[in-house]
Amino acid sequence: MTAKLLILDDDHDILLMLKTIFAGDEFELLLESDGESALRRVIADRPNVAIMDISLPQKSGIEVLKEAKKIDPGLAVIMATGYKTTQNAIEAMKHGAFDYVTKPFDMKKLKEAVRKALECNLLSRKVRYTKVRAQPEEDLTEDLMIGSSPEMIEIWKMVGTVADSDATVLIQGESGTGKELLARAIYNNSKRKNRHFLAVNCAALPEALLESELFGHEKGAFTDAHSRRIGKFEQCNGGTIFLDEIGEMSPANQGKFLRVLENQEFERVGGNETIKVDVRVISATNKSLLASVKEKSFRMDLFYRLRVVNFFLPPLRDRVEDIPLLVDLFVRKFSRKYGKNIQGVSPETMALLTSHPFEGNIRELKNVINSATVFCRGDILVPGDFESFLQAKAGFKEVDLEAAGDDYYEVFWSMLEPVFDGICQKNKGAIYESVNMGLEKALIHMAMEKSNNNQVFAAKLLGISRNTLRDRLERYRIGAAEHA
């Protein structure tokens, strides 16, 4: 029996092209240009495979996909689009698409996708018979994760496939590749999206403070524990928790965390009451957990519990075609932030950016665009707006803190050198005071954020008294903190 291939596209030329490509004895072709006609074909002809365009004039391809899957859940649908947006790929896979391809078509890949889709459909029909029954503008106030490179398209397809499950997710990738943004993309497309999403950096807090941060503590559990504290897992009950730099978690905390993964229960620090929760865990690391397992610094059983679903985010140098999309996003974001009317970047600037190694990945690109936008005097970013920042970062590697010594001279030199001339021009005669105040304010603010605005934890993290911390919070007008 000849397999049936339904092709839905409102572009007549594309229909004719695909008809030519797939004509032959293997398929009976069903060509349609509108969603309603295609759905009638699904009911009447029960095709094995469908290629559907997402952008249709009346009913969108996603809507047709959802209705077609209700009629025949076994139909293998390949969604096609000329608009390489993140959400399209996620939505398509989320609603049951077999695959997602972009235009212009790579015919070899499209044929292979159709072949695999047909195999899947024929297999599903052997084991199950289904009875037939009748780019908005982005919010630039938040960071977005975008990308249309082949590597990122595969990631979006995977997000759409796994988002609605409660499976534990591990995200691996270099620093600055956007691991937390990917975690949020999974959360935003999950059934828990209306519940809490909380992020914790496991490398930012000492062992005892991290345990209290995650699991909470009872009054009197340790010095300065003047009242009961509810931990992140309790706060996040019913929602999703994101644990960044999971590889830095101590062995003791790994054991307690493993129990939460296995049984969804724990006790607060200093308490005996067993608390049960329902929390989805997404974790991330920029180091090899497998190597840590071999070195005995990370538990093997925890590693395999974390890696039920495994994502690897490629570095920016391996997805150069995404740089123009990211540049456009960051230019619009920072142009709006600083009240400027920057329209974009010159071709020479784009060539400069796409050839730069960006060892700090998307985070470095974002910071470079931020700095260039501040110093830009026109309405187009030109190479001169970037040269000092890119030259300072050329060949720059992530600082080895062990080799940096106790005074962090190399760290601060690398940070100050590219902007020092600008600081001198802006703060003539007051450079020492301005830089020292800025550094202290940044340290205080960062410590408060890492400690979830808990003054006791922040003071311990900084190694200063609570009175000194309160003085600096007032001096620098840093937001109100929670009292432990």
**Position 238 pLDDT exceeds 90:** yes
Co-location of 177 and 249 in the same domain: yes
**CATH of residue 106:** 3.40.50.2300
Co-location of 178 and 305 in the same domain: yes
Q: What is the count of structural domains for the chain?
A: 4
Co-location of 185 and 309 in the same domain: yes
Inter-CA distances, 2 with 22, 24, 47, 114, Å: 13, 10, 10, 14
Task: Give a yes or no: residue 21 inside a domain.
Answer: yes
Task: Give a yes or no: residue 100 inside a domain.
Answer: yes
- When pLDDT is averaged across residues 300-319 and rounded to a whole number, the result is 94
Handedness of CA 229, 231, 237, 240 (dihedral sign): positive
Q: Domain end: 127, 157, 174, which one?
A: 127
Co-location of 301 and 325 in the same domain: no
Written as six digits, the tokens of 80 are 């096609």
Q: Domain end: 398, 422, 446, which one?
A: 398
What is the layout of strands, in order, in the sheet containing 99-102?
A: 27-32, 3-8, 49-53, 76-81, 99-102
- Strand, coil or helix: 202: coil
Strand bridging mode 274-276 / 265-267: antiparallel
Co-location of 303 and 177 in the same domain: yes
Confidence at residue 59, expressed as pLDDT on a 0 to 100 scale: 87
Q: Domain end: 313, 337, 368, which one?
A: 313
- Strand, coil or helix: 266: strand
- When pLDDT is averaged across residues 387-407 and rounded to a whole number, the result is 55
User: Which comes out higher in pLDDT, residue 138 or 346?
Assistant: 346
Co-location of 183 and 283 in the same domain: yes
Co-location of 50 and 121 in the same domain: yes
**Position 138 pLDDT exceeds 60:** no
Task: Give a yes or no: residue 138 inside a domain.
Answer: no
For 39-43, 143-147, 206-210, 436-440, which range has the lowest pLDDT when averaged over its residues? Answer: 143-147
The pLDDT confidence band at residue 103, using thresholds 50, 70 and 90, is confident
**Position 70 pLDDT exceeds 80:** yes
Stretch (H or E) spanning 134: none
**Position 183 pLDDT exceeds 80:** yes
- When pLDDT is averaged across residues 371-380 and rounded to a whole number, the result is 85
Task: Give a yes or no: residue 64 inside a domain.
Answer: yes
Co-location of 392 and 461 in the same domain: no
Confidence at residue 484, expressed as pLDDT on a 0 to 100 scale: 40
- Dihedral of the CA atoms 10, 16, 20, 24 (nearest 10)? 70
For 110-114, 261-265, 266-270, 390-394, which range has the lowest pLDDT when averaged over its residues? Answer: 390-394
Task: Give a yes or no: residue 409 inside a domain.
Answer: no
The pLDDT confidence band at residue 132, using thresholds 50, 70 and 90, is very low
**CATH of residue 212:** 3.40.50.300
**CATH of residue 342:** 1.10.8.60
**Position 126 pLDDT exceeds 70:** no
Task: Give a yes or no: residue 354 inside a domain.
Answer: yes
Co-location of 15 and 113 in the same domain: yes
How far apart are the C-alpha atoms of 192 and 242, rounded to whole Å?
A: 13
Task: Give a yes or no: residue 413 inside a domain.
Answer: no
The pLDDT confidence band at residue 450, using thresholds 50, 70 and 90, is confident
What percent of the chain is predicted at pLDDT more than 70?
Answer: 86
**What does 91-109 look like in DSSP terms, one character per residue?**
HHHHTT-SEEEESSP-HHH
Task: Give a yes or no: residue 410 inside a domain.
Answer: no
**Position 123 pLDDT exceeds 80:** no
Confidence at residue 404, expressed as pLDDT on a 0 to 100 scale: 55
Co-location of 258 and 173 in the same domain: yes
- When pLDDT is averaged across residues 298-319 and rounded to a whole number, the result is 94
**Position 417 pLDDT exceeds 90:** no
- When pLDDT is averaged across residues 52-67 and rounded to a whole number, the result is 90
**Position 144 pLDDT exceeds 90:** no
pTM, 2 dp: 0.66
Inter-CA distances, 465 with 173, 185, 220, 407, 461, Å: 37, 39, 20, 21, 10
Mean of all residue pLDDT scores within the chain: 84
- When pLDDT is averaged across residues 342-369 and rounded to a whole number, the result is 90
Task: For 209-223, write each residue's pLDDT tens digit.
Answer: 888 889 988 887 666
Co-location of 300 and 339 in the same domain: no
- SS in 3 state form for 286-316? CCCHHHHHHCCCCCHHHHHHHCCEEEEECCH
Contact 315, 173 (CB under 8 A): yes
Co-location of 305 and 332 in the same domain: no
For 79-88, 265-274, 444-453, which range has the lowest pLDDT when averaged over its residues? Answer: 79-88
Containing structural domain, residue 361: 316-398
Confidence at residue 150, expressed as pLDDT on a 0 to 100 scale: 78
